[in-house]
Amino acid sequence: MYDVVVVGAGPCGTAAARRCAEMGLSTLCLEEHGTIGHPVQCAGLLSIAAWEGCRVGRKPILHQVRGARIMASDGTGFSFDAGTTKAYVVDRGALDREMAGSAVTAGAELQLKTYVRSIEDTTLRTVGMNGYREVSGRIFIAADGVRSGIARMLGMGRSPVVLAGIQAEIVHDVNPDLVEVHPHASPDFFGWVIPIGKNRARVGLCGGQQVRERFTTFLQHFGTACTDLVTGALPLGVMPRTYGRRTLFVGDAAGLVKPTSGGGIYTGVRSAMHAAEVAAICCETGRFDDEALAEYECRWRADIGRELALGFRLFQLRRTLTVKEVDIILQTFQNPDMVATILQWGDMDRPSKLVMQLIKKPEILRILHILFRSGVRQILK
């Protein structure tokens, strides 16, 4: 019997497996696919903190960016350029493989082409290249992504919102230093242009409806020559309980994705660390009841819970805004004092730092008025 069995070898699964192995736990990580990191379902934009959380060498880094340009509906935009590296653009497949390699180096076992088809008490039933098997573990970490079969098998509640995403890699001249954000390309989320150099970029969007149609329209601005196409789903809002029945849910499986940006690596890998540490405590004390597992939820909530809750609230507000209201908000942010504040306090992973500064600004009254009006509109609908 293993101490810990991790289901899924995405970044959160391998981060958890690595940490468990480093703490001396016998650890097995199961992955249904035969190749780690394939298919890619990600834009590969990582804040510096997210990148550092992955704890691998720089090989997967393709490019770096210094800030963002936010586009209004008339095609004009305004930029935040920090003048220094703010985020990395990575080869996500390579990142996943590096992380899996580090987990194996730390002592975790990795079994590919092994699909977990059921879970019961301490036993997982698998099917794959070794045929039908049973694997035993004292505790499980479910890192099996947005569709989490483990959550379904255990009858756990799921994330309240799942968005669809499509992205193309294109050949097109772009500003290599700034990510472009297009709020109007997808009214319930946004579109993006992420440079991978001077003339290559990832162009994509996420949304709750008409995602293919929106994407086709958006892509037309850049020509249609596309060298790589990615589709995927994004869970927003954390599942009602992230633990239960000897299992801790991490990353997308738990809905631990930043609702303002759709970034899931930072929060997911942090959740994986907390899960591994709590798994170690459970193995040491021999307690695997829900009360003991609850410590995991206390830890990730203390770390990233406030940011995720604020992010979800902002996501809900953003969904209620009209095109005109978004443009007015963008105009308000162009004030030099606001730009300076955003550059000083903006943090991709912790938006509350910036929000706390912005609410001290007189200009924010205009934005609060818009948000209040759109909130009332929603209630009256």
Q: Work out which of 53, 60, 145, 259 binds ligand FAD, going by CB under 6 A.
A: 145
Question: Which CB, 128 or 187, lies closer to ligand FAD?
Answer: 128
Nearest distance, CB of residue 111 and ligand FAD, angstroms: 9
Residue 236 as a binder of ligand FAD (CB under 6 A): the answer is no
Here's the x/- map for ligand FAD, 1-20, by CB under 6 A: it reads as ------xxxxxxx-------
Residue 44: partners with Cβ closer than 8 Å, 6 or more residues away:
62, 89, 90, 91, 92, 95, 194, 202
Residue 67 as a binder of ligand FAD (CB under 6 A): the answer is no
Nearest distance, CB of residue 247 and ligand FAD, angstroms: 13
Q: Work out which of 53, 60, 137, 149 binds ligand FAD, going by CB under 6 A.
A: 149
Cα distance between residue 91 and residue 338, in whole Å: 33
Question: Which CB, 137 or 165, lies closer to ligand FAD?
Answer: 165
Cα distance between residue 203 and residue 103, in whole Å: 32
**Closest to 37 measured CA to CA, from 61, 69, 14, 71:** 14
Q: Work out which of 6, 23, 45, 185 binds ligand FAD, going by CB under 6 A.
A: 45
Q: Work out which of 22, 33, 101, 295 binds ligand FAD, going by CB under 6 A.
A: 33
Q: Quick one: which segment of 131-139, 154-162, 231-239, 304-312 binds ligand FAD (CB under 6 A)?
A: 231-239
Cα distance between residue 139 and residue 114, in whole Å: 18
Question: Which CB, 12 or 219, lies closer to ligand FAD?
Answer: 12
Task: Determine the size of the site formed for ligand FAD (CB under 6 A).
Answer: 41
Token couple for 261: 């940006």
Going from the C-alpha of 185 to that of each of 188, 191, 273, 333, the distances in angstroms are 9, 5, 35, 19
Nearest distance, CB of residue 133 and ligand FAD, angstroms: 12
Residue 351 as a binder of ligand FAD (CB under 6 A): the answer is no
Nearest distance, CB of residue 105 and ligand FAD, angstroms: 19
CA dihedral 114, 118, 123, 129 (to 10 degrees): -20
Q: Work out which of 30, 141, 193, 330 binds ligand FAD, going by CB under 6 A.
A: 30
Q: Quick one: which segment of 75-83, 256-264, 309-317, 347-355 binds ligand FAD (CB under 6 A)?
A: 256-264
- Count of beta carbons in the 10 Å neighbourhood of residue 113: 15
Token couple for 231: 């589709």
Cα distance between residue 288 and residue 255, in whole Å: 23
**Does residue 361 sit in helix, strand or coil?**
coil
Residue nearest to ligand FAD (CB): 264
DSSP H stretches of helix in 255-305: 265-285, 290-300
Cα distance between residue 70 and residue 10, in whole Å: 30
Question: Which CB, 183 or 262, lies closer to ligand FAD?
Answer: 262
Question: Which CB, 164 or 282, lies closer to ligand FAD?
Answer: 164
* Backbone torsions φ then ψ of 163, nearest 5 degrees: -100, 155
Q: Distance between alpha carbon 113 and the CA centroid of its chain, in Å?
A: 24
Footprint on this chain of ligand FAD (rule: CB under 6 A) = 7-13, 30-33, 41-46, 50, 115-116, 143-145, 149, 165, 167, 204, 206, 230, 232-234, 251-253, 257, 262-265, 268
